[in-house]
């Protein structure tokens, strides 16, 4: 039985991903009927999603939203305490390494249970010519030996790592326009997923792409480029993910995260 005197449990989701939006839609008390909203209602929770504020016009999740940095792990720990957060879910992008480490530190300081949501990474299949690297600098170093016309899909924030490659031409795809420093010879394509194999095929052909660079984001919405590259025999430089901070439990998606919350709150509620 819900306790009428107790305010709803407060869940803070660190977002900026499809998984975070899906989780908020699943948990938030008043779904507005958007297609991603889960049909099965969860017990009443207060759900806040935090966005970094990098994207000019973000897709807003259900529930409450706050935007902007917290001011490091101390600021996040303060926010958790001041807003009486009962559970923290790090559903940020697999490459958003700083906020994930901040979350681990802040959760420990504020004694708030923390869960990480990470979609599975991509795995190479037959016919894939992948060159796996661990950083954007390594990706840049690998490029001159692989091609001259590069499709760069690692986001606008890391372009400085490729700025010295004056002999290569880049097709840069990003949600918002990149700022310098960036490679001198480049064309920018402002777009955000989901992308189709047909569309990616056409891009590779139209721009005579001979090498693709991607992070191992693992998202279905952006996997079509890998299929198109395989078909065209285009090599792919894949930047591997940083590890999740030590000791933080990890699940693959929103359903498992909702399950974790149910377990957490039913265990706490029974005391
Ligand atoms: P990051 O390097 O890990 O974080 C840098 C700083 O940005 C953090 O220290 C924090 O500032 C602030 N921040 C990051 N995520 C935040 C959030 N959800 N809410 C409030 N503050 C946040 O992060 P990033 O790689 O720049 O990514 C920023 C956001 O974009 C993330 O939320 C991520 O989910 C999303 N995203 C990232 C990528 C990618 O490839 N990295 C791709 C798609 C989406 P303070 O220290 O001041 O708190």
Query: Is 19 exposed, middle or buried, given 0-12, 13-18 or 19+ CB atoms closer than 10 A?
Result: buried
- Determine the atom of ligand 1 nearest the C-alpha atom of 91: 34
191: in domain:
yes
Cα–ligand 1 centroid distance for 51 (angstroms): 8
What number of other Cβ atoms are within 10 A of residue 187's Cβ?
10
- Note down pLDDT in tens along the chain; length 271 residues: 455 567 899 999 999 999 999 999 999 976 444 455 554 445 689 999 999 999 889 999 999 999 999 999 999 999 999 999 999 999 999 999 999 999 999 999 999 999 999 999 999 999 999 999 999 999 999 999 999 999 999 999 999 999 999 999 999 999 999 999 999 999 999 999 899 999 999 999 999 999 999 999 998 888 999 999 999 999 999 999 999 999 999 999 999 999 999 999 998 765 4
Ligand 1 atom 25 nearest Cα = 96
Separation between Cα atoms, residue 55 and residue 168, nearest integer Å: 28
Q: Indicate if 148 and 231 belong to the same structural domain.
A: yes
In three-state secondary structure terms, 206 is helix
Closest CA to 93 of 158, 30, 149, 150: 158
Cα–ligand 1 centroid distance for 66 (angstroms): 13
176: in domain:
yes
14 lines ligand 1 (CB under 6 A): yes
Query: Is 261 exposed, middle or buried, given 0-12, 13-18 or 19+ CB atoms closer than 10 A?
Result: buried
What pLDDT shows up at residue 180?
95
Q: Indicate if 184 and 144 belong to the same structural domain.
A: yes
69 lines ligand 1 (CB under 6 A): yes
Closest CA to 151 of 95, 228, 214, 232: 214
- Determine the atom of ligand 1 nearest the C-alpha atom of 155: 40
Closest CA to 150 of 139, 138, 134: 139
Cα–ligand 1 centroid distance for 99 (angstroms): 6
Separation between Cα atoms, residue 95 and residue 10, nearest integer Å: 26
Q: Indicate if 145 and 188 belong to the same structural domain.
A: yes
Cα–ligand 1 centroid distance for 53 (angstroms): 8
Residue 132 main-chain phi, psi, to 5 deg: -90, 130
Range of the domain at 44: 9-119+243-269
Q: Which residue has the tokens 């929770």?
A: 45
247: in domain:
yes
Ligand 1 atom 30 nearest Cα = 16
96 lines ligand 1 (CB under 6 A): yes
Q: Indicate if 135 and 187 belong to the same structural domain.
A: yes
Pairing of strands 45-51, 186-190: unpaired
Cα–ligand 1 centroid distance for 100 (angstroms): 8
Q: Which residue has the tokens 């706050």?
A: 66
What pLDDT shows up at residue 221?
83
Q: Indicate if 106 and 152 belong to the same structural domain.
A: no
Separation between Cα atoms, residue 89 and residue 205, nearest integer Å: 41
120 lines ligand 1 (CB under 6 A): no
Q: Indicate if 84 and 171 belong to the same structural domain.
A: no
23-41: burial string, b at 16+ Cβ within 10 Å, e else: bbbbbbeebeeeeebbeee
Q: Indicate if 45 and 57 belong to the same structural domain.
A: yes
What pLDDT shows up at residue 219?
83
124: in domain:
no
Cα–ligand 1 centroid distance for 112 (angstroms): 20
DSSP H helix total and E strand total for the chain: 7, 12
Q: Indicate if 182 and 263 belong to the same structural domain.
A: no
Tokens of 4: 């009428």
3: in domain:
no
Pairing of strands 45-51, 64-67: parallel
Q: Indicate if 146 and 196 belong to the same structural domain.
A: yes
Separation between Cα atoms, residue 182 and residue 165, nearest integer Å: 9
Note the helical H segments in 146-232: 197-206, 224-232
In three-state secondary structure terms, 83 is coil
Q: Indicate if 49 and 102 belong to the same structural domain.
A: yes
Q: Indicate if 213 and 261 belong to the same structural domain.
A: no
Number of domains in the chain: 2
2: in domain:
no
Separation between Cα atoms, residue 256 and residue 250, nearest integer Å: 9
What number of other Cβ atoms are within 10 A of residue 196's Cβ?
12
234: in domain:
yes
99: in domain:
yes
Cα–ligand 1 centroid distance for 234 (angstroms): 31
CATH number at residue 62: 3.40.50
Q: Indicate if 140 and 234 belong to the same structural domain.
A: yes
CATH number at residue 223: 3.40.50.720
155 lines ligand 1 (CB under 6 A): yes
* DSSP string computed for 3-24: -TTSPPEEEEEE-SSHHHHHHH
């Amino acid at each position: 039985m819900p306790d009428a005197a107790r305010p709803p449990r407060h869940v803070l989701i660190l977002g900026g991903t499809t998984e975070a939006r899906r989780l908020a839609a699943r948990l938030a008390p008043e779904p507005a009927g958007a297609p991603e909203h889960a049909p099965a209602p969860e017990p009443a929770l207060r759900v806040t999603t935090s966005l970094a504020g990098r994207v000019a016009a973000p897709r807003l999740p259900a529930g409450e939203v706050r935007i902007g940095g917290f001011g490091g792990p101390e600021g996040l720990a303060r926010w958790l305490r001041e807003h009486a957060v009962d559970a923290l879910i790090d559903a940020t992008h697999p490459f958003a390494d700083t906020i994930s480490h901040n979350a681990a530190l802040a959760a420990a300081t504020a004694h708030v249970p923390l869960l990480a949501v990470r979609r599975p990474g991509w795995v190479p299949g037959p016919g894939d010519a992948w060159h796996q690297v661990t950083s954007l600098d390594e990706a840049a170093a690998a490029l001159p030996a692989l091609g001259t016309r590069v499709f760069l899909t690692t986001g606008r924030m890391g372009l400085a790592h490729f700025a010295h490659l004056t002999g290569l031409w880049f097709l840069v795809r990003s949600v918002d326009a990149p700022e310098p420093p960036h490679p001198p010879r480049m064309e920018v394509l402002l777009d955000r997923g989901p992308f189709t194999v047909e569309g990616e095929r056409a891009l590779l052909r139209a721009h005579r792409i001979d090498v693709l660079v991607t992070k191992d984001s693992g998202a279905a919405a952006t996997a079509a480029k890998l299929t198109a590259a395989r078909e065209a025999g285009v090599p792919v430089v894949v930047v591997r993910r940083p590890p999740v901070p030590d000791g933080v439990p990890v699940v693959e998606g929103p359903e498992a995260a909702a399950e974790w919350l149910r377990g957490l709150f039913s265990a706490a509620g029974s005391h």
